[in-house]
Amino acid sequence: MTSPEDKAQKPLVYVVGGSPVQKQEIVQNLQVFYQLEVFDGETEISERLSTAVPTAMIVDEVLPPMGGAGFVAKVRNKQETKALPVVFTAESKNAEMIAEATSYDGVFLVERPFKRATFIEALSSSVNASVEAKWDDVEPTQKAALKNTLSSFNAIADLIQEGEPIPYDSVRDSCTPLIEAVQNNNFKDMLAGVSDHDNYTYVHSLRVATFLSLFGNVLGIRGDDLMVLSTGGLLHDVGKMHIPHEVLNKPGKLTEDEFVVMKSHVNCTVDFLEETSELPKGVLIVAGQHHEKLDGTGYPYGLEGGKLNELARMASIIDIFSAITDRRVYKEPVPPEQALKIMENMKDQLDQNFLAVFREMLLDGATY
Ligand SMILES: [Fe+2]
Ligand SMILES: [Fe+2]
């Protein structure tokens, strides 16, 4: 059952118009990931918009009294909703209505009948478009770090899809501003800038790249070796792009079978990276061993103690810290102090010397 606290953590999305069956279908598909409010007519939705603007809105072509496209026009003409992301649903034969609605920026069309995955992707893209638009106001180095790593990440997704190798050079270039931001101790806007982004694998990877670079910087690692940490962080989970949305974003505990699927992301990542020419070996270690534990209980290899080199020990600390402190659709981020306590109790699994240095780094750096 969904608790009120749980509800408050999910992005708010309004579902506007369409037949009762269509609205119910949308609610069933999305309620795990979003907090949904349903509206039947223009009067109700207009009243609601004057009290609270959601993260995104799904508008159907059928909306009494005037239709969905006219309503989208009104939304775009109001200052407070002019950039509100809209997913517009319509039948492909209604070309005029579609042309009108999609003539506005930030309107994503989904034609009926739609596949669940297509619909979720459209909503996710619309949320991301509004998050990314806010990056224009971020301090320049951090803005470059966000924009470059995201475009690199999206390019990687396409290359993986096409079975093409990832060009390491361009990944390295995209991480240059991130390293600069970290070295200037100027990275908090960057972390805040991704917190509402809806591509969880990107958000997590950027946070791991940032924390791993910070950690390396504090340990005195510089130059190409620091770049290994940064790019290793960005690439360490790219195999998750092959994990189904339902498993990757499932609130609550995975079943045994789902966990097997989830764990396969490590081998997937390694397979992709092995195709990459000029990939530093350290990046492969970060990606391949970030789920290993000192007591041999990790995966996929179950490596123990001495077999885990420094990179693997650092990567597992950062990956666990990031995962615990990440904001997910179904959980608020755990505060860093509490995350460190949890990790200090993993005595046999994590390198406690590294953890002590990491802890000191966090305490010195106010809030992350
Ligand atoms: Fe992972
Ligand atoms: Fe990870």
Q: pLDDT by residue (tens digit) across 128-183?
A: 988 898 899 999 999 999 999 999 999 999 999 898 999 999 999 999 999 999 99
Residue-number span of the structural domain to which 168 is assigned: 138-364
Overall number of domains in the chain: 2
Among 226, 136, 218, smallest CA distance to 176 is for: 226
**How far apart are alpha carbons 28 and 1 in whole angstroms?**
14
- Identify the pLDDT of residue 9: 60
Q: Per-residue pLDDT for 33 more than 60?
A: yes
**Nearest ligand atom owner, CA of 270:** 1
The residues facing 35 across adjacent strands are 12
CA of 236 to the centre of ligand 2 (A): 6
CA of 319 to the centre of ligand 2 (A): 5
CA of 231 to the centre of ligand 1 (A): 14
Neighbours of ion ligand 1 (CB under 5 A): 237
3-state secondary structure of 295: strand
Per-residue pLDDT, averaged over 241-263, amounts to: 90
**Nearest ligand atom owner, CA of 204:** 2
Residue 84 neighbours by CB under 8 Å, 6+ apart:
53, 54, 56, 57, 75, 106, 130
Looking at 131, 157, 181, the residue that finishes a domain is 131
CA of 102 to the centre of ligand 2 (A): 37
124 and 152 both lie in a single domain: no
Looking at 110, 131, 152, the residue that finishes a domain is 131
- Which residue type is seen at 347? K
179 and 245 both lie in a single domain: yes
Looking at 131, 159, 187, the residue that finishes a domain is 131
pTM of the predicted model as reported, rounded to 2 decimal places = 0.86
CA of 198 to the centre of ligand 2 (A): 16
Q: What is the CATH number of the domain that holds 159?
A: 1.10.3210.10
- pLDDT for 95-131, tens place per residue? 999 999 999 988 999 999 988 888 888 998 888 988 8
207 and 301 both lie in a single domain: yes
91 and 188 both lie in a single domain: no
Share the mean pLDDT of the chain: 92
Q: What is the CATH number of the domain that holds 80?
A: 3.40.50.2300
CA of 355 to the centre of ligand 1 (A): 19
Q: How confident is the model at residue 243 (pLDDT cuts 50, 70, 90)?
A: very high
Per-residue pLDDT, averaged over 80-90, amounts to: 93
296 and 154 both lie in a single domain: yes
93 and 193 both lie in a single domain: no
265 and 126 both lie in a single domain: no
217 and 262 both lie in a single domain: yes
162 and 115 both lie in a single domain: no
Name the DSSP letter for residue 241: G
CA of 4 to the centre of ligand 2 (A): 29
CA of 92 to the centre of ligand 1 (A): 40
123 and 148 both lie in a single domain: no
194 and 333 both lie in a single domain: yes
CA of 134 to the centre of ligand 2 (A): 26
120 and 144 both lie in a single domain: no
Token pair, residue 99, equals 């042309």
**Nearest ligand atom owner, CA of 315:** 2
Beta strands in the chain (DSSP E): 12-16, 35-39, 56-60, 86-91, 107-112
CA of 46 to the centre of ligand 1 (A): 43
CA of 325 to the centre of ligand 2 (A): 12
- Identify the pLDDT of residue 93: 93
CA of 344 to the centre of ligand 1 (A): 20
**How far apart are alpha carbons 354 and 136 in whole angstroms?**
36
**How far apart are alpha carbons 185 and 333 in whole angstroms?**
22
Sheet holding 107-112, edge to edge: 35-39, 12-16, 56-60, 86-91, 107-112
**Nearest ligand atom owner, CA of 263:** 1
3-state secondary structure of 313: helix
Name the DSSP letter for residue 88: E
